[in-house]
Each structure stands twice: as structure tokens, then as C-alpha cells.
Amino acid sequence: MHRTDSIYDDVPSERYQFPKIYLSRAEQCVGDWIIYLEPRSVRNTKGYFAVARVQEIIPDPGVDGMYLAIIERGSYIDFGDYVPFSDSGIHAEQGILNEQGKISGRAQSAVRTLSAADFTRIVAKGLGDEDGILPRVDQPTGQEEFAEAALPLLDTPMRDRISLITNRAVRDRNFRKVILRAYDNQCAISGLRLINGGGRAEVEAAHIKPVEHHGPDIVGNGIALSGTAHWMFDRGLVGLSDDLSILISRQANDVEAVRSMINKTGKLILPRKRADHPRGAFITWHREHCFKA
């Protein structure tokens, strides 16, 4: 379990801090995949929201009696479709139910094991499909119940289930969903929000630190940009200062034209949730390695 306002030193894509009481359970996860859940007590909870692989467990060097689960670099991915704890009375995680079908005390444990069936059910629902990026205008938008959801991975070997998580096309698709959701389908540089005739956003999900340079598929390493803004950002013709002011490269062949594309504040338009804002380390990396000052 993880919550954005956690008192623990958690960065889900990098590490998960926990007390010794959970050590034996956490050790079972080493070399294996985990799913993150935001507790039901959190207002507007995301439910099950991400999957990652645990590389190792180490004692927290800064806090006695605490431990860190170190996440394997590049393994973490936010779900393009958050998975609710329960949907129409059907629980995504069947392992928390007792013999009477009621929620047991196990559901309160911040670290617990998942059955292969529960893992597959949640991941398949979370990674979703391409049509979930935005609904087509001629398709219903109602959410299907878990019992009716198509889960083809349930009958496949675990190695094939894991391939869904590591597949680049799947990760790119889900990264787009996550970024467009955070930025409300709006270009963070121009401020334009364009929806095409098929009901889909005409903005793209840009990695701040590129994947080829080990940039992670997390919301803090992404911004929503129009096609032109994305092209300029990737080629270093625009960049960002520490306060997220939009910088224009002196190598741009028409500086005034580029300036006319920038929203009137001159700064990046940010997501409503502070937790979804770009991380400073990635902004700095882009400015130092991509931006053509």
C-alpha cells in the first residue's frame, strides 16, 4: 500500500520504505513483481495503480528498524486504467476475502502476497487496451464489471503475463494514458486542448528524460505536448528552467514563431495534482543534455 501523503520515505518507482514487521513478507517479493494499492481511506483513491519489480531489500541506512524495497530500474509502470478495490461489489483482489466472502483483516496489511490469479486480474485490467486512451464517440463509456472483463492472460504462462508489463508498445500506450489523464488532454506548452473527430486527444505524451537514456515511464518524467511542441522539445529547441519557465533555444530558426506558440504565462501548464508535476531531476537532465542553449 502507498499513499501520496505517506509519512514514509516512499518513491514508488524507486523505493518503498516499511517497518520490520513486514520484512518476512517483503522478502518473498525479491526478484518478483508487486502491485501498488492506494488505500480506500484516501479521498478519491486510485485503487490499484501501478506495477513494479523488487530488486532487493536493504536496511534503511537512515532510520533504525526500517527497511527499503529497492525497485528495479525501468520496471515500474503506472496503470493506464486505475483498478478500483471493488467494482459493483466484486473485489479485484479475491485473496483478501474470508470463507464467507467478506473482507478479512488481511486487507489492512500494508504488505501482503498476491495469488497469481489476483495479480493477473489486476494487471490485465490496469494495462487495459488502446481504446481506453479516450472513448470513441460511438462507443459506450460505462465501466465493465470485473466478472465481465476479458482477461485472456489468465490462461497463459506467467512468463507471457510478465511480457505484457515489459512490452514497449504496452508501456508506451499506458504512459500516454497516464500523461494525458494528468494534463487533462492539454498541451503543457501551448495550452491547447484539441480533440479529433474520433473523440481522441491530439496531444502526445513526451518523456522528459528519454527511454533510451533510462528515463522511466512515470508521470513525473512526462508532459503532454502537441505534435509540434513535442518535436521541438525532443530536439532541444525548447526547454524548461527550474521554475518551469519555457526556454527557447537560440538555435531556433524563427524564435518569434516559437514564442507565439507558448501560452501567455510563459510557464509550463501543470497538472492539478502536485504529485503529478514533473520531477526536477528530469527537467535538469533535459536542460543539460538536450536543450540547445
Q: Could you read off the pLDDT of 180-204 as tens digits, one per residue?
A: 999 999 999 999 987 776 666 689 9
In this structure, the answer to whether residues 266 and 244 fall within a common structural domain is: yes
Q: Which of 171, 167, 131 is nearest to 13 (CA)?
A: 171
- Which of 166, 195, 218 represents a domain boundary (last residue)? 166
Q: Which of 228, 218, 219, 285 is nearest to 260 (CA)?
A: 228
- Which of 136, 166, 196 represents a domain boundary (last residue)? 166
In this structure, the answer to whether residues 130 and 184 fall within a common structural domain is: no
Predicted TM-score (pTM) of the model is: 0.82
256 contact partners, CB below 8 Å, separation of at least 6: none
pLDDT at residue 137 in the model? 31
Residue 105 lies in a domain: yes
pLDDT at residue 138 in the model? 34
Q: What is residue 199's DSSP assignment?
A: S
Rounded Cα gap, residues 143 and 292, in angstroms = 45
pLDDT digits (tens, 9 = 90+) for 86-118: 998 899 999 999 999 999 999 999 999 999 999
In this structure, the answer to whether residues 221 and 280 fall within a common structural domain is: yes
In this structure, the answer to whether residues 161 and 191 fall within a common structural domain is: no
Contact 55, 71 (CB under 8 A): yes
In this structure, the answer to whether residues 72 and 113 fall within a common structural domain is: yes
Place of cell 490496469: 126
Residue 47 lies in a domain: yes
In this structure, the answer to whether residues 156 and 190 fall within a common structural domain is: no
Which residues are 58's β-sheet partners? 68
- Which of 103, 137, 166 represents a domain boundary (last residue)? 166
* Torsion on CA atoms 136, 142, 222, 220, rounded to nearest 10: 170
Type of residue found at 197? G
In this structure, the answer to whether residues 65 and 193 fall within a common structural domain is: no
Domain that holds residue 116: 1-166
In this structure, the answer to whether residues 59 and 160 fall within a common structural domain is: yes
Residue 171 lies in a domain: no
In this structure, the answer to whether residues 125 and 157 fall within a common structural domain is: yes
Q: How many domains does the chain have?
A: 2
